[in-house]
Amino acid sequence: MKTHTESEENYIKALYHLGGEQPVSNGDLAQRVGAKGSSVTQAVKRLGQKDLVNVVPYKGVQLTPKGIRLAKSILRKHRLWETFLVDKLGFGWDEVHPLAEQLEHIQSEELVDRLFQFLGSPKHDPHGDPIPERDGQMPPVLGQPIGAFTAGAEIRIVRVEDAGSEFFDQLDTMNINLGNTYEIRTISAFDASVELGSPTGSFWLSQSMCANIYAVQS
Amino acid sequence: MKTHTESEENYIKALYHLGGEQPVSNGDLAQRVGAKGSSVTQAVKRLGQKDLVNVVPYKGVQLTPKGIRLAKSILRKHRLWETFLVDKLGFGWDEVHPLAEQLEHIQSEELVDRLFQFLGSPKHDPHGDPIPERDGQMPPVLGQPIGAFTAGAEIRIVRVEDAGSEFFDQLDTMNINLGNTYEIRTISAFDASVELGSPTGSFWLSQSMCANIYAVQS
DNA sequence: CTTTTATTTTAGGCAAAGCTAAAAATTATC
DNA sequence: GATAATTTTTAGCTTTGCCTAAAATAAAAG
Ligand SMILES: [Mn+2]
Ligand SMILES: [Mn+2]
Ligand SMILES: [Mn+2]
Ligand SMILES: [Mn+2]
């Protein structure tokens, strides 16, 4: 049960985010971790020696099974900490990501298990993203983009994509939260914007807002 | 509000632990951080450049006011996290120190403030050690060693020194916890061991156990 | 199928943090 | 006060992780 540096873990996380189990290009990885390509070449060489990735020069980098396991365990910690910060400490869902990026590197199986219990064995984090299970299984990725429903449908918001702080601000000012339910009133044939109705009135959501908000029929 | 590396923070913490505001020798510091003297010489030079310590070659290293502020803020985080781990996650008080050594390096004022509130604004950690206030003030260091009381006194355990895991195991098997109250029955003139009485019976504590257990009259 | 463009790797540096071994300074001893 | 023992510093090396600039390779365009 070796231990990894923060940098290593960030590369693994980036690889999982970009490609999942598929190979990722040097350039994309460099962009994601915020380093230069040359640094990435070196870094993945180190990861390769630890059997966390397979590197094919000029072709791409791919997580090994071991790398995937590590990626999921970091993601699990990230999302559990986000849940803690929102549910227990009262942070806004737009504030917790940078903090979770620090907390996700704390190493202790025991701590993760206890945190998980303390939070009531959650399956999804404050943004609706699935929290990997202890054994690596992934709960379902919930919902479809709002635009995918048809007029008349009753929907419940179950997930939002992290589309930056302005997006979260907009959700905030419109009072849109996970769990909210609406009726789909209209879907514009012109610009794909959507009119949502609730007991208290109705309002329009732009196409780009809709694209980042996921819901299920309720 | 610059940010510090984990190594830097560990040196600062070690300096505060060893000398408080007083100078500390290279050797003592090396021993405490688990590095060689030569590494320490280098490290404190770097800390000096950041105005966290004053170095007098061959003489010793001393925290600056800025260094003291940092030391206290790390200690605050350490002890708040220990409180969280014990009070909220149900860890034993003998298990939390290594975890807190990781968590103490998480950087976020906001997180510390919210954690503090969440825990009910505690003044002391699970071992009875004072938690520095937001502004650097220190709550009182509680209690006197058990041997300092006189026979007949009613006492309450308020603090234990971290004297290693065997010490904690011993406390555990003897069922001794913070908050417990006893009567001092006897203090041996021969070996300074102490007989404590409780409603359920009485038992003897060796001198070296007593030296690490602090109590107040109750 | 060349040539141009874009991507990736190499080569060479730098800073943080550690190490060992040798030199220098301090402290203790006779 | 000179010498021996201890402590501290210097010098030189290592690894991680990042950088820039140049060389090599792959992909796109003609
Ligand atoms: Mn996140
Ligand atoms: Mn991270
Ligand atoms: Mn502790
Ligand atoms: Mn530490």
Segment B2-26, tens digit of pLDDT:
789 999 999 999 999 999 999 999 9
Mean pLDDT of A138-156: 96
Is residue B117 located within the same domain as residue B175? no
**CATH number of B210's domain:** 2.30.30.90
In whole numbers, what is the pLDDT of chain A averaged over residues?
96
Q: Which H or E element spans position B75?
A: helix B65-87
Cβ distance of B106 and A99 shorter than 8 Å: yes
> Lowest-confidence range among A7-11, A70-74, A79-83, A199-203?
A199-203
- Name the residue range of residue B181's domain: 144-217
Residues β-bridged to residue A60:
A56
Give the model confidence (pLDDT) of B167-179 as tens digits: 999 999 999 999 9
pLDDT exceeds 70 at position A135: yes
Q: Is B91 in the same domain as B30? A: no
| Residue A135 within a domain | yes
- Is A68 a domain residue? no
- Does residue B168 share a domain with residue B126? no
In the predicted structure, residue A159 carries a pLDDT above the cut 90: yes
Residues B153, B212 within the same domain: yes
Bases of chain D below 7 A from a protein C-beta are 7-12, 16-22, 25-26
The bases of strand C with some atom under 7 A from any protein CB are 7-12, 16-22, 25-27
**What pLDDT was estimated at residue A150?**
95
Specify the number of domains making up chain A: 3
Same domain flag for A116 and A164: no
Q: What span, in angstroms and rounded, lies between the C-alpha atoms of A8 and A26?
A: 15
Q: How far is the CA of A141 from the C1' of D8 (A)?
A: 60
Q: What element of type H or E holds B16?
A: helix B6-19
Indicate the Cα dihedral angle B101, B77, A81, B99, nearest 10°: 20
Cα–Cα separations (whole angstroms), residue B51 to B11, B16, B189: 14, 15, 51
- In a shared domain, residues B171 and B184: yes
β partners of residue A160 = A213
| In contact, A33 and A15? CB cutoff 8 Å | no
User: Per the domain annotation, does A19 fall within a domain?
Assistant: yes
Q: How confident is the model at residue B1 (pLDDT cuts 50, 70, 90)?
A: low
Identify whether B72 is part of a domain: no
For residue B207, give the 3-state DSSP assignment: helix
Spacing, Cα A75 to ligand 2 middle (Å): 10
**Digit-coded pLDDT (tens) for B53-83:** 999 999 999 999 999 999 999 999 999 999 9
Q: Tell me, yes or no, whether A47 and A92 share the same domain.
A: no
Rg over alpha carbons for chain B, rounded to the nearest Å, is: 20
- Largest Cα–Cα distance in chain A? 59
User: Mutate which of A82, A85, A97, A119 to test chain B, going by most B C-beta atoms within 10 A?
Assistant: A85
Least Cα separation, residue B89 to chain A (angstroms) = 6
Q: Is B58 left (phi over 0), alpha (psi -120 to 50) or beta?
A: left
Share in percent of chain B as helix, strand, coil (round to 5): 40, 20, 40
Is A179 a member of any domain? yes
Provide the whole-model pTM.
0.94
Report pLDDT for B90.
Answer: 98
A212 and A149 in a common domain: yes
Same domain, B154 and B112: no
Q: Three-class SS string for chain A?
A: CCCCCHHHHHHHHHHHHHHCCCCECHHHHHHHHCCCHHHHHHHHHHHHHCCCEEEECCCEEEECHHHHHHHHHHHHHHHHHHHHHHHCCCCCCCCHHHHHHHHCCCCCHHHHHHHHHHCCCCCECCCCCECCCCCCCCCCCCCEEHHHCCCCCEEEEEEECCCCHHHHHHHHHCCCCCCCEEEEEEECCCCCCEEEEECCEEEEECHHHHCCEEEEEC
- Establish if B107 belongs to a structural domain: yes
Element (H, E) at B80: helix B65-87
- Together in a domain, A130 and A156: no
A82/A117 same-domain check: yes
CA distance A116 to A76: 10
Whether the pLDDT of residue A1 is over 70: the answer is no
CATH number (domain holding residue B87) = 1.10.10.10
Partners of A198 in the β-ladder: A201
B191 phi, psi to nearest 5 deg: -125, 15
Q: Is the dihedral of CA B15, B17, B23, B24 positive or negative?
A: negative
Which region holds residue A18: left if phi is over 0, alpha if psi is between -120 and 50, else beta? alpha
Residue A96 lies in a domain: yes
3-state secondary structure of B44: helix
What's the mean pLDDT in A45-61?
Answer: 96
The answer for residues whose C-beta is within 8 angstroms of residue B1's C-beta and 6 or more apart is none
Is the pLDDT at A149 greater than 70? The verdict is: yes
Q: Which of A89, A111, A141 is the last residue of a domain?
A: A141
User: What is the per-residue pLDDT across A98-119, written as a single tens digit (0 to 9) for each?
Assistant: 999 999 999 999 999 999 999 9
Considering every ligand atom, which ligand is closest to the CA of B9?
A: 4
Burial class (CB in 10 A: 0-12, 13-18, 19+), B38: exposed
Ligand nearest to the CA of A105: 2
The string of DSSP letters for B94-148 reads TTHHHHHHHHTT---HHHHHHHHHHTT--SB-TTSPBPPPTTS--PPPP-EEGGG
Is residue A70 in some structural domain? no
Q: Do A99 and B88 touch (CB under 8 A)?
A: no
